[in-house]
Amino acid sequence: MRLNLSDTFNKELPTDSNNKNTRRQVFEATHSYVNPKVPSEPELIHASHQMVEAIGLEEKDISSKEFLEIFSGIKIYPKTKPYAMAYAGHQFGNWAGQLGDGRAINLFEVEHDNKRWAVQLKGAGETPYSRQGDGLAVLRSSIREYLCSEAMHYLGVPTTRVLSLMLSGDDVLRDMLYDGNREYEKGAIVARVAPTFIRFGNFELFAARKDYKNLKKLTDYTIKYFYPELGQQSKETYIKFFKEVSKRTLEMIIHWQRVGFVHGVMNTDNMSILGSTIDYGPYGWLEDFDFGWTPNTTDKQNKRYRFGNQPNIGLWNLLQLANALYPLVEEAEPFETILNHYQKDFETQSLQMMRSKLGLKHADEEDSKLITDLEDCLLLSETDMTIFFRLLSDFKKNEFEVAIEQIQEAFYKPEEIKGKVLEQWQGWFKAYDKRLHKETLRDDERKAHMNKVNPKYVLRNYMAQLAIDDANKNDYNLIDELFELLKQPYAEQPENDKWFAKRPDWARHKVGCSMLSCSS
Ligand code: AMP
Ligand code: MG
């Protein structure tokens, strides 16, 4: 197993002078050296062949002893120095101070095919940033992160990736519902991969401590490696940097809205500086279309991170990043301009994204109304978002009267689609038909376009739970089945039609399906 190592983060940025693995506040450093905990009996459950190759390994390496040892944390790859990153964050709207990698340990960076990848183990044991935690991760949350990262990538959503999923062989004590019932669960380790794992919170940590020297070092480093096109160190470059991060963050969230993904914990420590989805915790997928839905039981009261609020939270988080970067620029106006733009860009891009879901190529001034009217219809009675948009592509011009039958499968309670509800739907289909007559695409062409933006298969909450239930009984077949299925989310896969189905009734209120806590 040969890797083309290219460590930069731990070589170019300031290291914590204390080498002990004790929980503490760490100052004037971006990271602390710490080795992963040695797991008792690691076992490889699954590996992402595509990512294995992306970091420069070969398929045959996956079954090697070295792969198992390096990506479970038993052995340290020669000439590398694993480390945990220091960051802070705003959690649920409140300043939380220093957080940091409490259970993630970065192994190394590699370069392959002109791409830089940082490899990190999640669930690899205590670090100076573990606070009250044990540094470990349970199998259920690891499966969820593992499957969803790759599924998001294939959906075309920017995201961190994964390399492997392993059992640690150690049991982990968790109070899954925070109700006092603690139980031992299987421990697991995910090796995840991204160009960098730097978050908004890394900048916030230095800014909060008025450590502007290191704030600048971190910003210059980030621009040098991940935004080199922005130019040399200068105030203008820092502003351009913020603008680019805003742009990417918005694009990522628009993708989330398009596919019905709810992150669940959009704290600033969970916001990647690359505008990629990071830290899959109590995330979920919209089943019935509902702006107010959040899968996170920890957020049940305020629903801060509900589906419809994600774009606003993106803006709120960017404001925190702007505050953190401000000392490097010392002018508020450029930041304000960019933040104001976010709001406008959100409206334009959101509209454009919804047009694409409806198969509309051209812009019409009444499109906003058409879309709001559709959203109103979707909220009339529980309607499955994924199924609705996928079936809508079968719509044929002039045939609006049968449209409601074509999308029947999307309704959770078809008996409710009558009277006023039915009339409202029929009115909408009629309006949609009229609108389609202003387009030039043929029905089949429109369908092809729509099927590229409206996935047929997503990782429904209950699907991940089924894979978890099996894995807890040592059966990993479903992990592989879902992994393969979700590699082609837009394709018709007739042999997999059972996964193009509404959430089954048993999953409606089941823990892990509709309700998830931060316990992981
Ligand atoms: P999260 O909500 O998972 O993004 O985590 C928030 C913070 O808590 C981060 O600093 C994590 O590293 C830390 N954390 C979460 N779980 C654990 C754990 N089991 N042990 C130590 N730190 C943890
Ligand atoms: Mg996190």
Mark the residues whose beta carbon lies below 5 A from ion ligand 2: 270, 279
User: Which residue reads 């107010």 in tokens?
Assistant: 292
Q: Averaged over 213-225, what is the pLDDT?
A: 98
CA of 99 to the centre of ligand 1 (A): 8
Is the pLDDT at 514 greater than 90, yes or no? no
Is the pLDDT at 261 greater than 80, yes or no? yes
Q: Averaged over 301-323, what is the pLDDT?
A: 97
Tokens read off for 347: 């409206």
Q: What amino acid occupies position 260? A: G
Q: Which atom of ligand 1 is nearest to the CA of 101?
A: 12
Instruction: Kindly tell me the burial class for residue 229, based on how many C-beta atoms sit within 10 Å of its own C-beta (0-12, 13-18, 19 or more).
Output: exposed
Q: What amino acid occupies position 471? A: A
Give me the residue spans of the domains in the chain: 9-200, 363-438
The tally of CA atoms less than 13 A away on the side-chain side of residue 467 is 27
| pLDDT confidence tier of residue 498, bands split at 50, 70 and 90 | very high
Q: Averaged over 10-23, what is the pLDDT?
A: 97
What is the predicted pLDDT for the residue at 508?
Answer: 86
Which of 83, 103, 168, 170 has the most ligand 1 atoms within 8 A of CB, as the residue to mutate? 103
Q: Is the CB of 133 under 6 A from ligand 1?
A: yes
CA–CA separation, 225 vs 8, rounded Å? 9
CA of 24 to the centre of ligand 1 (A): 15
What is the predicted pLDDT for the residue at 31?
Answer: 98
In this structure, which residue's CA is closest to atom 13 in ligand 1? 102
CA–CA separation, 114 vs 127, rounded Å? 31
What is the predicted pLDDT for the residue at 513?
Answer: 83
Question: What pLDDT, in 10s, does the model give residues 105-125?
Answer: 999 999 999 999 999 999 999
Of all ligands present, the nearest one to the C-alpha of 99 is 1
CA–CA separation, 453 vs 255, rounded Å? 10
Q: Averaged over 338-355, what is the pLDDT?
A: 97
What is the predicted pLDDT for the residue at 511?
Answer: 83
| pLDDT confidence tier of residue 290, bands split at 50, 70 and 90 | very high
Quote the mean pLDDT of the chain: 97
Tokens read off for 287: 């089943």
CA–CA separation, 136 vs 172, rounded Å? 7
Q: 33 by DSSP, 3-state: which?
A: strand
In this structure, which residue's CA is closest to atom 22 in ligand 1? 102
What is the predicted pLDDT for the residue at 164?
Answer: 98
Q: Which atom of ligand 1 is nearest to the CA of 279?
A: 4
Q: C-alpha 156: how far from its chain's center? A: 12
CA of 171 to the centre of ligand 1 (A): 18
Tally of residues, the chain: 520
What is the bridge-based pairing of β-strands 104-112 and 115-122? antiparallel
Q: How many CB atoms lie within 10 A of CB 235?
A: 12
User: Please, which residues have CB within 8 angstroms of residue 59's CB and are 6 or more apart in sequence?
Assistant: 49, 52, 53
Q: Averaged over 341-353, what is the pLDDT?
A: 97
CA–CA separation, 386 vs 289, rounded Å? 9
Q: Averaged over 501-509, what is the pLDDT?
A: 91
Q: C-alpha 513: how far from its chain's center? A: 17
In this structure, which residue's CA is closest to atom 6 in ligand 1? 99
**Region for residue 64 given its phi and psi (left: phi exceeds 0; alpha: psi -120 to 50; beta: otherwise):** beta
Question: What pLDDT, in 10s, does the model give residues 382-396?
Answer: 999 999 999 999 999
Q: Averaged over 124-133, what is the pLDDT?
A: 97
Q: Is the CB of 292 under 6 A from ligand 1?
A: no
Q: Is the CB of 142 under 6 A from ligand 1?
A: no
Is the pLDDT at 178 greater than 80, yes or no? yes
CA of 211 to the centre of ligand 2 (A): 23
In this structure, which residue's CA is closest to atom 17 in ligand 1? 133
Contact present, 174 and 182 (Cβ < 8 Å): yes
Q: Is the CB of 275 under 6 A from ligand 1?
A: no
Q: Averaged over 461-481, what is the pLDDT?
A: 97
Contact present, 461 and 284 (Cβ < 8 Å): yes
Tokens read off for 95: 């300043």
Q: Is the CB of 172 under 6 A from ligand 1?
A: no
What is the predicted pLDDT for the residue at 140?
Answer: 96
CA distances 88 to 314, 327, 476, Å, are 17, 17, 36
Query: pTM, whole model, 2 decimals?
Result: 0.97
What is the predicted pLDDT for the residue at 518?
Answer: 83
CA distances 381 to 408, 411, 434, Å, are 12, 7, 24
| pLDDT confidence tier of residue 470, bands split at 50, 70 and 90 | very high
CA of 141 to the centre of ligand 2 (A): 13
Of all ligands present, the nearest one to the C-alpha of 299 is 1
Q: Is the CB of 14 under 6 A from ligand 1?
A: no
Of all ligands present, the nearest one to the C-alpha of 518 is 1
Residue 189 — φ and ψ, nearest 5°?
-135, 125
Is the pLDDT at 188 greater than 80, yes or no? yes
Is 220 known to be catalytic?
A: no
CA of 520 to the centre of ligand 1 (A): 9
Tokens read off for 411: 């309704």
CA–CA separation, 155 vs 157, rounded Å? 6
| pLDDT confidence tier of residue 401, bands split at 50, 70 and 90 | very high
Which of 34, 90, 98, 99 has the most ligand 1 atoms within 8 A of CB, as the residue to mutate? 99
Q: Averaged over 159-168, what is the pLDDT?
A: 98
| pLDDT confidence tier of residue 6, bands split at 50, 70 and 90 | very high
Q: Which atom of ligand 1 is nearest to the CA of 132?
A: 21
CA of 134 to the centre of ligand 1 (A): 9
Q: Which atom of ligand 1 is nearest to the CA of 104?
A: 12
What is the predicted pLDDT for the residue at 510?
Answer: 83
Using the CB atoms, write b or e for 159-195: b if 16+ within 10 Å: bbbbbbbbbbebebebebeeeeeeeebbbbbbbbbbb
What is the predicted pLDDT for the residue at 265?
Answer: 97
Q: Is the CB of 175 under 6 A from ligand 1?
A: no
What is the predicted pLDDT for the residue at 516?
Answer: 87
Q: Which stretches of 289-419 are assigned E, i.e. beta strand?
A: none
CA–CA separation, 152 vs 369, rounded Å? 30
Of all ligands present, the nearest one to the C-alpha of 127 is 1
| pLDDT confidence tier of residue 179, bands split at 50, 70 and 90 | confident
Tokens read off for 146: 């593992």
CA–CA separation, 36 vs 107, rounded Å? 9
Contact present, 147 and 482 (Cβ < 8 Å): yes
| pLDDT confidence tier of residue 89, bands split at 50, 70 and 90 | very high
Q: How many CB atoms lie within 10 A of CB 380?
A: 15
Which of 269, 279, 290, 299 is flagged as catalytic? 269
